[in-house]
Chain A
Amino acid sequence: MATKSPERMNIIDQMAHLFSLRQIVFAIVLTFFLVSILFPFYWMVSSSFKTRAEIGGRTAVYVPEGLRMEAFQELFDPNHPSYQEFGKNIINTLSVSIPTTIVAVILSVLGAYAIARLRFRGKNVLLNSILLVYLFPGVLLIIPLFAMLAQIGTQVGFEVQDNLAVLVVTYLAQTLPVALYMLTNYFRTIPDEIEQAALIDGASRFEVIWRITLPLAIPALVSVGIYTFMIAWNEFLYAFVFLNNGDLFTMPIKINTIFNDPTPRPNVVMAASTIMTIPIVMLFLVLERYLAEGLTAGGVKG
């Protein structure tokens, strides 16, 4: 730490000087980071409790008078004149993100097991081409997807627009490659010997996966699950293009609709955003230990 050149000042003075200067710079930079991250959150949450008057005033109101539920009433209270039926949007989001998560975890476990444990020809080509997904922008894929699914839809007889199942499948396509990659890396860290022993004892592959590999991989499964859930919960573009019927809007699309309403009601937008943000941030903070690793390992696309 200390510099090795004692000049006019003696070493102790110099160290103290250096140390405190460093401390100060450190504290300032840290504070700057924390404020710039936490202030937008504070603003979002506090604004959701503001009244129309507090929101529309001539100056900014930093602390609301009280915890006014005006904005939340508009979202949830059927008696409110411009009731938004936000409960419906929460259910839509959940009914997209929960199936996406479950299916993605199951499929990626199977796929990752195959890649990590089994030998077969074309493995590397397959893995690399699956990872190609990283390269393609969502906007590039959405045009052919739209045309393709419309085509298949008219033949098989399902509606492409306003179909939450279509969203689930497109989210799977977006999340499976990363999930596969994360889990493969994790499975490779689990020693192979236990599985081999079980196989020799006559257990089937599926028994081995179910009884041995999965219990050992729980941290990775949690992080893959949360990761897919997060992507499906937050996704905007595909839902925006594929959904036209207000009854099927997921939360992001609904928030965008409220935001673009001719009568601006930022408190309602902020209340809806708070409802959408808090669960995902909470989930993340609780499981942060698992996730930080997963985030870097998979390099979450975003």
Chain B
Amino acid sequence: MAVSAKPKSGSSFMKRWRAVESQEARLAWTLISPTAIIVFGLVIFPAVFSVWVSFHDVGLNNLNDVFNAPLAGPDGLDNYRKVFDDFAFKFQGLQSWGAAVTSVVYSFVATIATLVVGLIAAILMNRPFRGRGLTRAIFLIPYVAPVISMAFVWRWILDPRPSGVLNDLLIRLSVIEPQESIAYLATRGLALALVIVFEAWRYFPFAMLMILARLQAIDSTLYEAAEVDGASTWQKFWNVTIPELRYVLGAIFLLRLMWTFNKFDDIFLLTSGGFGTKVLPVLTYEFSFKLFDFGKGAATAMILLAILVVFMAFYIGIVMRNIEEE
């Protein structure tokens, strides 16, 4: 069965060795091919195909015959032009950021907030106290619960009517009058801030787990040495803990930024992208599945991906290298 693909002169031992090797390789490819086919067929190929779609005119009318779709404009760049000219996309001053700027601001602030909250939670969990195991499990709940339930509970807590929980609490505390109830998720600025808070609330457990694992691996002699030098708690945190965590913080930042930038569900379910929270994934969805202009949608997605790739290249090239060198 196992015949070496390349007949080469050599000792019979080498031949047999090659045969074993190629048999092993064949088995490996057999084992991994179902996964590879599914992932390539449904992720890598579509990703490449969406580049093609972004240069063509694809709508509901020719969706069934997509490979013969006409080029978008004489040079195929019409979809991109349409996106760049769209008022939902472009920056038009501080009152109306447009999806590109909103996306960048939202992702960065939300990622940093997630990191900070995760760091605080990890420091809490790093101290022994009674019920720590249960508390840690509870802390993970926002992360595992379905986004739809969590988004809708939040929407209701932030309900604009006086009977909304937050409004009700503020009225009871006499901070606001019943007629002054706040439409939290329908106020420009505030809506974006709350979506960021939601993001930090929902995803801090991921950061917490990774930071906690690293915290528990820090060599305690480092702290002892710092104590001998008379360092305060704050100094120990700043000069021992943070440097030790730098690498893991950098990795979480990159991962979370990537995922937040690509995130669709959270904002769509909380605000439907209204009131200054329209990010690029939501805009992509709207172009594709509300206006059914798939070419324009794909162009938006490509712009999203381009921003992400440029940032990642910069980050990995400069920031991570600096960390390693130090």
Kindly identify which residue among B40, B142, B152, B304 contacts A140, using a CB–CB cutoff of 8 Å.
B304
Contact of B281 among A58, A123, A134, A137 (CB under 8 A): A137
A101–chain B nearest beta-carbon distance, Å: 15
Interface string of A208-237 (1 = CB under 8 A from B): 000000000000000000000010011011
Residues of chain B with a CB closer than 8 A to A118's CB: 24-25, 27-28, 31
Given A34-B138, A136-B43, verify A292-B209 contact (CB < 8 Å): yes
| B contact residues around A281 at 8 Å (CB) | 141, 144-145
The answer, yes or no, to whether B173 is at the interface (CB within 8 Å) is no
Tell me if B84 is interfacial: C-beta within 8 Å of chain A: no
Is B147's beta carbon under 8 Å from chain A? yes
The answer to whether A139 and B281 have CB atoms under 8 Å apart is: yes
What is the number of residues of chain B that contact chain A, defined by CB distance less than 8 Å?
A: 94
Cα A33 to Cα B127 in complex, Å, equals 15
Cβ contacts under 8 Å, A256 to chain B? 148, 269
- Docked CA distance A135–B257 (Å): 11
Chain B residues within 8 Å of A139, by CB:
262, 264, 281, 284-285, 288, 297, 301
Question: With contacts A114-B31, A141-B46 known, is A255 near B265, CB below 8 A?
Answer: no
Q: Which of B63, B144, B206, B285 has the most CB of A within 10 A?
A: B144
Q: In the complex the two chains form, is A29's CB within 8 Å of B140's CB?
A: no
Q: Which of B49, B65, B156, B227 has the most CB of A within 10 A?
A: B156
A299 interface residue (CB < 8 Å to B): yes
The answer for the CA separation of A234 and B284 in the assembled complex, in Å, is 21
Per the bound structure, the CA–CA distance linking A180 and B38 in Å amounts to 13
| Contact residues of B between 289 and 323, Cβ < 8 Å to A | 289, 294, 297-298, 301-302, 304-305, 308-309, 312
A296 with B146: CB separation less than 8 A: no
Q: Which residues of A contact B269 (CB under 8 A)?
A: 236, 256
Bits for B229-271, please: 1 = Cβ < 8 Å to A, else 0: 0101000000000000000000000010011011111000100
**For residue B230, which residues in chain A have a CB less than 8 angstroms away from its CB?**
4-5
B258 / chain A contacts, CB cutoff of 8 Å:
134-135
A194 at interface, CB cutoff 8 A: no
CA distance A228 to B40 in the complex (A): 19
Assuming the contacts A58-B163, A118-B28, A176-B39, asked whether A273 and B304 have C-beta atoms less than 8 A apart, the reply is no
Is there an interface contact between A173 and B34, defined as CB atoms closer than 8 Å? no
B176 interface hit (Cβ, 8 Å): no
* B146 interface neighbour in A114, A147, A280, Cβ under 8 Å: A280
Residues of A within 8 A of B281 (CB): 137-139
A119 touches B298 (CB 8 A): no
A130 to B305, CA, bound (A): 17
- Cβ B146 vs Cβ A234 within 8 A: yes
B27 touches A114 (CB 8 A): yes
Could you list some 28 contacts between A and B, CB below 8 A?
Answer: A37-B142, A47-B156, A56-B163, A60-B169, A107-B35, A107-B38, A119-B25, A120-B24, A130-B36, A134-B255, A135-B305, A135-B308, A141-B42, A142-B288, A143-B288, A145-B42, A147-B58, A148-B45, A148-B46, A154-B64, A205-B27, A236-B269, A273-B152, A276-B148, A281-B141, A284-B140, A288-B137, A295-B206
Q: Which 9 A-B pairs have the closest CB atoms?
A: A137-B262, A273-B149, A173-B42, A120-B25, A144-B46, A140-B301, A60-B168, A114-B31, A118-B28
Question: Which residues of B are interface residues toward A (Cβ below 8 A)?
Answer: 21, 24-25, 27-29, 31-32, 34-36, 38-47, 49-50, 53, 58, 63-67, 120-121, 124, 127, 135-150, 152-154, 156-157, 162-165, 168-169, 201, 203, 206, 209-210, 213, 227, 230, 232, 255, 258-259, 261-265, 269, 281, 284-285, 288-289, 294, 297-298, 301-302, 304-305, 308-309, 312
Apart from A37-B138, A144-B46, list 15 A-B contacts with CB within 8 A.
Answer: A40-B153, A40-B154, A43-B165, A60-B163, A118-B28, A119-B25, A130-B36, A136-B47, A137-B301, A139-B262, A140-B47, A141-B42, A147-B66, A288-B137, A292-B136
